[in-house]
């Protein structure tokens, strides 16, 4: 959510983590946010409105059909029409929702078996309600394991980054490196700032960029992840810096869409001005 409770633009929600997801309301418990679905939400929580129920049913049915056709002759066919591409995008969206489970190929086959029975109306081999708690336990266990691996890789990356010339590692774990010196006073945590930025994972995968949108972002400095609050205060207008942010001062073990739990993030930030 943006300051004031406005929703982020629709076009930024699925493709990458937009700036609206870097922003967080003051005092928000990031571990309790709704960006990470529980197993019950992925597999069938019911929307409140009638329209939402119908959309949910339509999307879920389509997703199940797509999942069952994975590996079939359809998978080898090119995406010729916009409908083909839309359905493929739906499959990607569902697959991203299931990433929490870190399924092996054999496990994915079991999932597809359950999907097939649900769509074709075959008699279920188990009662799904009896297994919802176990599904949540499985999701949590897989998420914890994946987060641990991400943290280890992030620690190694941050250690190397801290050895670069001009880099400074702070007590919080932030690695700050000035790329271009600015002029004037540094912003305070309570200031509004205007910035351009690019955010990547440690492997270089870009998850957001104001440069690509050709639109600088303006926000209260105390309304963003702690890494930004701390790092941007070390800059001056006109300056540019690299911030290496461990998950403890970014998105924690849960992550965000396109950002794995436990991930260390790398930002290049250009402070354009302190907004008065």
Q: Catalytic residues, which ones? A: 197, 207-208, 225, 251, 267
Q: Shortest CA distance to 44 belongs to which of 63, 30, 31, 66?
A: 63
Q: Is the dihedral of CA 72, 75, 76, 81 positive or negative?
A: positive
Token digits for 150? 């991400």
Residue with tokens 């279920």: 124
Neighbours of 140 (CB within 10 A): 14
Q: What angle do CA 38, 67, 251 make, to 5 degrees?
A: 35
φ/ψ region of 39 (left if φ > 0, alpha if ψ in -120 to 50, else beta) reads alpha
Cα-based torsion angle of the residue sequence 249, 254, 256, 257 in order, rounded to the nearest 10 degrees: 150
């Amino acid at each position: 959510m943006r300051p004031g409770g406005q929703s982020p633009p629709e076009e930024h929600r699925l493709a990458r983590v937009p700036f609206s997801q870097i922003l967080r309301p003051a005092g928000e418990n990031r571990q309790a946010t709704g960006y990470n679905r529980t197993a019950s939400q992925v597999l069938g929580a019911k929307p409140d409105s009638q329209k939402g129920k119908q959309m949910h049913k339509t999307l879920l049915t389509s997703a199940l059909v797509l999942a069952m056709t994975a590996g079939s002759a359809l998978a080898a066919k090119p995406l010729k029409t916009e409908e083909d591409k839309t359905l493929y995008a739906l499959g990607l969206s569902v697959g991203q929702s299931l990433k929490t489970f870190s399924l092996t190929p054999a496990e994915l086959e079991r999932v597809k078996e359950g999907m097939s029975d649900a769509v074709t109306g075959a008699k279920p081999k188990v009662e799904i309600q009896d297994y919802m708690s176990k599904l949540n336990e499985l999701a949590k266990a897989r998420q914890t394991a994946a987060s641990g691996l991400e943290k280890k890789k992030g620690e190694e990356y941050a250690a190397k980054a801290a050895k670069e010339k001009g880099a400074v590692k702070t007590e919080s774990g932030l690695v700050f490196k000035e790329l271009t010196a600015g002029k004037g006073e540094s912003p305070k945590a309570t200031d509004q700032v205007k910035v351009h930025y690019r955010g990547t994972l440690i492997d270089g995968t870009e998850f957001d960029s104001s440069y690509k949108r050709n639109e600088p972002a303006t926000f209260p400095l105390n309304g963003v992840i702690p890494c930004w609050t701390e790092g941007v205060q070390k800059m001056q207008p006109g300056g540019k810096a690299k911030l290496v942010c461990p998950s403890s001062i970014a998105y924690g073990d849960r992550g965000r869409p396109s950002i794995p739990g436990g991930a260390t993030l790398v930002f290049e930030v250009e402070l354009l001005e302190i907004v008065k």
